[in-house]
Structure 1
Amino acid sequence: MITFILIPGACHGGWYFEPLAKELRRHGYAAHCVTLSGIGDRAHELTGSVNLDTHVQDVVDLMEHEGIEKTVLVGHSCAGMVVRGAADRVPERIDSVVYVDAFLPGDGDSAWSLTTDAQRQWYIEGASADGIGIEPFAFLDPRTTPHPLASMVQRLRLTGSQSGFRRRDYVFAAQFPDTPFGRFYEQLRDDPAWHLHALECGHNVMGEAQDELLRILLDGVQHERGPSSDPSEEGPRAASGNVRPIHQVK
Structure 2
Amino acid sequence: MTTYVLVHGAWGGGWKFARVASLLRKRGHSVFAPTLTGAGERSHLLSGAINLSTHVTDVLNVIRYEDLSGVVLLGHSYGGMVITQVADRIAEKIAALVYLDAFVPEDGQSLFDLNIPANTQMFLTRAGDNGGLLIPPPPAKAYFGVNDGDAARVDELAAPQPIGTMIEKVKLTGAYRGVKKRVYVHGAVLPRESPFKRFYEAAKANGWDAHALPCGHDIMLDLPDELTEILDEAGK
* Contiguous gaps of at least 5 residues in structure 1: 225-250
Deviation larger for 93-102 or 163-172: 163-172
The residue number in structure 2 matching 1:239 is none
The residue number in structure 2 matching 1:50 is 50
The residue number in structure 1 matching 2:201 is 186
Q: Show structure 1 runs of 4+ deviating over 3 A.
A: none
1:77 CA drift (Å) = 0.7
The residue number in structure 1 matching 2:146 is none
1:174 CA drift (Å) = 1.4
**Aligned to 2:184, what secondary structure does the other structure show?**
strand
Amino acid at match of 1:186: E
Higher relative helix content: 2
The residue number in structure 1 matching 2:223 is 209
1:104 CA drift (Å) = 0.4
Amino acid at match of 1:132: L
Q: TM-score by structure 2 length?
A: 0.89
Seen in structure 2, the aligned counterparts of structure 1 residues 28 and 166 have a Cα distance that, compared at 3 Å, is farther
1:48 CA drift (Å) = 2.2
Q: TM-score by structure 1 length?
A: 0.84
The residue number in structure 1 matching 2:101 is 101
CA RMSD of aligned residues (A): 1.4
CA offset digits 1:29-73 (Å, max 9, x no partner): 110111101111211222222100111110000000000011111
1:184 CA drift (Å) = 1.1
Q: How far apart are the structure 1 equivalents of 2:119 and 2:225?
A: 28
* Conserved? CA contact 1:46–1:133, under 8 Å: no
Amino acid at match of 1:218: D
- Compare relative contact order (CA 8 Å, sep 6+) and give the higher one, 1 or 2: 2
Matched, 1:220 2:224: no
The residue number in structure 1 matching 2:189 is 175
Alignment of 1:211-250 (within 5 A): 211-221=225-235, 224=236
Of structures 1 and 2, the larger Rg is shown by: 1
Q: How far apart are the structure 2 equivalents of 1:201 and 1:138?
A: 17
